[in-house]
């Protein structure tokens, strides 16, 4: 016999549904329901008895997950079965990714060059090298200098930085932080002594 869907939950706003679903996934009782359904579909009565929750469409952790459509219920020959709604989980994951992109896009400029405290000549070079705060590549020749000035400006004057912290700061902008670190020292934007670094006084024109 064909299986017929018996849950007809009202539609709710995507962001509200996402937040409610994330809250549900932080609830231990609801996580137990999800874990119990990982192997596959189960009768609702057996699932409820095992977990000690109401076999309800409107009460308890099982009812909440059914409302959020994380758990789907279907009827076969008068018996109701529960299963994880993988399509719903996939849709929620997509909604979370879209929300994350929207939030990050609103918090920072599309290209860090526009917010950089550099002159227009350096900004023109940086526009072609940056994707957000990330360097697409480490340039050579004359195009390297604007990058080094942009990076040197991120170090506070007078402050000493251990090498680990320098690597962490530079690694936010390109994975080859060692090359960037050496270049900053070689071009005298940073000084170094016993794995401690500091910005050279007067290295930037604005100082």
Domain boundaries of the chain, sorted by first residue: 4-105, 138-199
CA distances from 133 to 21, 144, 151, 172, 207 (A): 32, 16, 11, 8, 23
Q: Please state, for a pLDDT cut of 70, what percent of the chain lies above it.
A: 83
Distance CA 204, CA 207 (A): 6
Q: Residue 62: which of 92, 95, 36 has the closest Cα? A: 36
Fold of 4-105: Arc Repressor Mutant, subunit A (1.10.10)
- 46 falls in which pLDDT band (50, 70, 90)? very high
What mean pLDDT is predicted for residues 140-169? 92
pLDDT tens digits, one per residue of 167-178: 999 999 999 999
- 74 falls in which pLDDT band (50, 70, 90)? very high
Both tokens of 11, joined, read: 């539609």
């Amino acid at each position: 016999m064909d299986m017929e869907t018996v849950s007809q939950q009202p539609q709710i706003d995507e962001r509200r549904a996402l937040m409610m679903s994330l809250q549900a996934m932080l609830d231990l009782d609801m996580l137990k329901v999800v874990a119990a359904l990982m192997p596959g579909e189960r009768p609702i009565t057996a699932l409820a008895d095992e977990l000690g929750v109401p076999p309800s469409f409107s009460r308890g952790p099982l009812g909440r997950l059914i409302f959020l459509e994380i758990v789907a219920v279907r009827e076969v020959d008068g018996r109701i079965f529960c299963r994880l709604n993988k399509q719903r989980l996939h849709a929620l994951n997509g909604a979370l990714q879209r929300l994350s992109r929207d939030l990050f896009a609103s918090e920072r400029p599309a290209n860090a060059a526009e917010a950089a405290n550099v002159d227009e000549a350096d900004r023109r070079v940086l526009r072609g090298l940056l994707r957000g705060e990330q360097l697409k590549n480490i340039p050579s020749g004359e195009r390297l200098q604007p990058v080094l000035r942009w990076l040197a400006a991120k170090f506070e004057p007078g402050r000493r930085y251990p090498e680990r912290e320098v690597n962490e700061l530079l690694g936010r902008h390109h994975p080859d932080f060692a090359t960037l670190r050496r270049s900053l020292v070689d071009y005298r934007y940073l000084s170094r002594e016993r794995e401690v670094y500091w910005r050279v006084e007067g290295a930037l024109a604005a100082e």
